[in-house]
Amino acid sequence: MTTTEMPDTLHRILDYSSRPDPYPLYAELRRTPVARQEDGSYVISTYRELADILHNPHLSSDVRNLTHPMPSAEGAPTPAFINMDPPQHDRLRRMAMRHFGPPNTPGLVTGLEPDLTATVGGLIDDFAGKEQIDIVDDLAYPFPVSVICHLLGVPREDEPRFRVWVNDLINSIDYDARTDPKEKLEDGVRARKDLREYLGGLVEQRHGRPGEDLLSLLANDDGPDGRMTDEEIISTANLLLIAGHETTVNLITNGMLTLLRHPRILERLRREPDLVVPLVEELLRYEPPVHIIPWRAAYSDITVGDTVIPKGSQIMLMLASGSRDPDRFHDPDRFDPDRTDNQHLGFGSGIHLCFGGPLARREAQIALGELVRRLDAPALLADPPPYRRSPVLRGPIHLRVERNGG
Ligand code: HEM
């Protein structure tokens, strides 16, 4: 393995024109598995090296460990646990997970299934009378947002307010050559403050007047790790709200796009509904919602393969490239729901492995299963569809489909 100054492949990947198909550029990137860029940061793009570093205890998720801290970290209040390291990360993750799944809350996802199916069913009922639908606006966005609002106890009718804050916040940490970085950061700081104030108000209400929702449980829990402070609850709620917004949307939309591009697999799914389980797993490998983890820091010098990454360096992890690495996956550019041995990086790996994975999988399985069952002959109206700006959370911004166009 060699470490070289990065060619411009990364810049081309980040450029918006690559959004519809970044995969050939990932293949270029993988020629240098651990690549040093001119600014001293590192880009890792191969499966083996990604899996290795994601399990390395010297890899930090706390941007304050960067030699040149990111400007977006300025003014940031208590970070969420996704941006923390052990032991603080582990404590807060344990406290949040107590209410999100086994062993403390074992039936959470299965208990939600009737509601998930009813919500998707209702959204599809609303397609009636429309010849054309937008998979994003009509289903893939409103569905997971309703679910996360319900779980957290955030009023669904407030969505138009926090949608703006969430968008500004995500833009502020993303790449977009079009916007002035200073303006973007200012928008991000403002959005973060507004969202925190809003969530703070909800947490306040939950003290002493608890309901069944996650905010109430977090505000009143006296589990083995004690109680979260209000600041910690707000940061955690913030994280879950954003995670519940921007990722599952892309999984459902990328899923429908992939099915419409593979009509034989779509037909097979109609005949064999159980195929949806391995199919969603393959989507998480083949068209994952999270392409890049842009900011990790080296706590101390980290050796990956035969490269030593110096302490304080910024490290960028190209997860979607790793999941298409031919040294790990046979015929990786083929969408194959029958693939076995599919340990993709769609939910990350190591101590920060996605905690909403079981919920997100079930949401996508139900949404895609019902769409395929209820749309007679769906046909894509634009291929490629228009994409969101982000190279990090990558997915179409709209996916227009003719309901009976096939
Ligand atoms: C298809 C949908 C989703 C995808 C592809 C996804 C992907 C990811 C990835 C790649 C990470 C690792 C980030 C890192 O290592 O820095 C992550 C972490 C996380 N995800 Fe998800 N996610 C999805 C849905 C969700 C949902 C629905 C929730 C919760 C409602 C959620 C909650 C979280 C949390 C809390 C973390 C941080 C875990 C930690 O730091 O220990 N995710 N997710």
Ligand 1: residue whose CA is nearest its atom 41: 352
Is any ligand 1 atom within 6 A of the Cβ of residue 316? no
- Give the HSE-up count for residue 185: Cα atoms under 13 Å, Cβ half-sphere: 10
Whether residue 1 has pLDDT greater than 60: no
Distance, CA 330 to ligand 1 centroid (Å)?
26
Would you say residue 3 has pLDDT above 60?
A: no
Give mean pLDDT, residues 329-344: 97
Q: Is the CB of 188 under 6 A from ligand 1?
A: no
SS3 call for 44? strand
pLDDT of 2 above 50: no
pLDDT of residue 245: 77
In the predicted structure, residue 180 carries a pLDDT above the cut 70: no
Residue 230: per-residue pLDDT: 94
Task: Give me the pLDDT at residue 57, please.
Answer: 96
82 in contact with ligand 1, CB cutoff 6 A: yes
23-70 per-position pLDDT tens digit: 999 999 999 999 999 889 999 999 999 999 999 999 999 988 888 776
Phi and psi at 35, nearest 5°, equal -115, 130
307-309 and 302-304 beta bridge pairing: antiparallel
Cβ burial 81-113 (10 Å sphere, 16+ → b, else e): bbbbbeeebebbbebbebbbbeeeeeebbeebe
Find out whether the beta carbon of 101 lies less than 6 Å from any atom of ligand 1.
Answer: no
- State both tokens at 347: 């939910």
Q: Which residue, by CA, sits nearest to atom 14 of ligand 1?
A: 352
**Which residues, in sequence order, are CB contacts of 276 under 8 Å at separation 6+?**
269, 365, 368, 369
- 377 CA to centre of ligand 1 in angstroms: 33
How many CA atoms lie within 13 Å of 248's alpha carbon, on the beta-carbon side?
A: 31
SS3 134: strand
pLDDT at 162: 86
What are the distances in angstroms from CA 383 to CA 20, 25, 398?
Answer: 9, 20, 11
| Structure confidence by residue, pLDDT tens digits, 193-240 | 899 999 999 999 999 888 899 999 999 988 899 999 999 999 999 999
Is ligand 1 within 6 A of the CB of residue 293? Answer: yes
pLDDT band at 167 (very low <50, low <70, confident <90, very high): confident
Asked if pLDDT for residue 183 goes beyond 80, the answer is: no
Evaluate: CB of 346 within 6 angstroms of ligand 1: yes
Q: Which domains does the chain have, with CATH numbers?
A: 1-76+292-308+327-345 (no CATH), 82-290+350-406 (1.10.630.10)
